[in-house]
Amino acid sequence: MSSPYATVYIVDDDQGVRDALAWLLRSRRLTSECFDSAEAFDARIRAPGSVREPSCVLLDVRMAGLSGLAMFEKLIGYGLLPTLPVIFLTGHADVPTAVDAVKRGAFDFCEKPFSDNVLVDRIEQALALSAERLTALNRSSNLQALLDGLTERERDVLRLVVDGLPNKMVADQLDISVRTVEVHRARVFEKMGVKSAVELANLLRND
């Protein structure tokens, strides 16, 4: 099931297509935002922090002005592709181009006229992937914030503790007393929110 905050961006210069897709998504309880050009979508999506909730893009390949493929290149340049899966909407003549885009990181393509059920299934899968990647990104950011809160000496102790070295060997490696290692170790555990070396190793490994 999609997040209640998930959004499907519809980018197509054909109003009939936009309206039909928006209606289809409403019927499946999915929220959408429509754009009549890639330029309009670009202005919306390039704002800092624009992708914070699960989302995906239904992107027409051929549009007046900025094409869907050019918009796709912009998304790659913005670094948004991992958290903002792209599903191309294509005509028969565009299929080879869309296939090539999939090889370059697009989530999928749907040939017009498309099956409503197939399209919605792929949208749901794209939103699930977006949610998964956003969670991983947030976890990584949170972990980095915790690591940034350690002193240089605490990071030295952390590396050796995660490697499985006992306090005596950590002390020898860093040329400090065992008592000092114990103090730093306790502070590392406290700052990282763990209670053991195993928990610490798992926290770093899961990232």
Looking at the fold, whether 95 and 134 belong to one and the same domain comes out as yes
Looking at the fold, whether 112 and 156 belong to one and the same domain comes out as no
Rounded CA-CA distance 60/41 in Å is 12
Looking at the fold, whether 130 and 31 belong to one and the same domain comes out as yes
Looking at the fold, whether 130 and 155 belong to one and the same domain comes out as no
Looking at the fold, whether 158 and 90 belong to one and the same domain comes out as no
Domain residues for 95?
7-138
Instruction: Identify the pLDDT of residue 202.
Output: 86
Rounded CA-CA distance 77/99 in Å is 20
Ranges of the chain whose pLDDT falls below 70 = 1-4, 48-49, 206-207
Residue 5: which of 26, 25, 28, 32 has the closest Cα? 32
Q: Which helix (H) or strand (E) holds 183?
A: helix 178-192
Instruction: Identify the pLDDT of residue 81.
Output: 86
Looking at the fold, whether 131 and 155 belong to one and the same domain comes out as no
Counted domains in the chain = 2
Instruction: Identify the pLDDT of residue 205.
Output: 80
For residue 143, is it within any domain?
A: no
**CATH number of the domain enclosing 160:** 1.10.10.10
What are the backbone dihedrals phi and psi of residue 196, each rounded to the nearest 5 degrees, phi first? -155, 165
Tell me, rounded to whole angstroms, the distance of Cα 149 from its chain centroid. Answer: 24
pTM of the model: 0.73
